[in-house]
Amino acid sequence: MFRLLFVFFIIIPIIEISVLLQVGSVLGLWPTIAIVIFTAWLGAKYVRQQGLATLNSVQSKMAQGQMPSDEIVTGLMLLVAGVLLVTPGFVTDIFGLSLLVPAVRSTIVSSVKPHMASNASATSFHFQQHNDFSSPPPESYQDNIQPPHKGTTLDGEYERKD
């Protein structure tokens, strides 16, 4: 994990700064700044557009009772693309723009999908509740749980505040 964080916070900014300096020496300061701002604006525009389309697809699949696993991975990739495009620099912009290409995303989704596990029973919970306090609890619970006294009533009020 340390190596990954080291790459993200030390190596990538050094690469970005060196590429920005090289492009700035060829094009000049203001054109380089304009390109960085333009790619951030363009990337944010397309991430928003494709993100809304992905959200609509998720909602339609969930309305049909299907698991939107492809759309979840696509949404995650669009989030990463947005972060990469807003980060100033040309290298991160190239990776961010590549994630906006549907063919690249579908390739990544198809490679990630076999590693995703879907367990429908993980969302259901089964609780066993013993309400019959006249009989003693099971042997294993005798030492840990004391049944409440017979005739104990809990009284209270409930008010919903939205």
Helix (H, G, I), strand (E, B) or coil at 144: coil
- Confidence (pLDDT) at 47: 85
Q: Does 129 fall in a domain?
A: no
Instruction: Answer for the pair 16, 69: CB distance below 8 angstroms, yes or no.
Output: no
Domain assignment present for 49: yes
pLDDT value at position 22? 94
151 in a domain, yes or no? no
Query: Considering the domain boundaries, does residue 162 fall inside one?
Result: no
Residue 147 counted as domain residue: no
Q: Are 88 and 40 in contact (CB under 8 A)?
A: yes
Work out the number of other CB atoms within 10 angstroms of the CB of residue 100: 20
What pLDDT shows up at residue 25?
94
pLDDT recorded at residue 23? 93
Structural domain includes residue 153: no
The whole domain housing 91 covers 2-113
pLDDT of residue 32: 92
Residue type, 101: V
pLDDT at residue 120 in the model: 44
Going residue by residue through the chain (162 aa), what tens digit of pLDDT does each one get? 788 888 888 888 899 999 999 999 999 999 999 998 998 888 888 888 888 888 888 888 888 888 887 888 888 888 888 888 888 889 999 999 898 888 998 898 888 877 776 544 444 444 444 455 555 555 554 555 555 556 666 667 777 787
Residue 122 lies in a domain: no
Helix (H, G, I), strand (E, B) or coil at 1: coil
Confirm whether 108 is domain-assigned. yes
- Number of domains, the chain: 1
pLDDT for the residue 113: 77
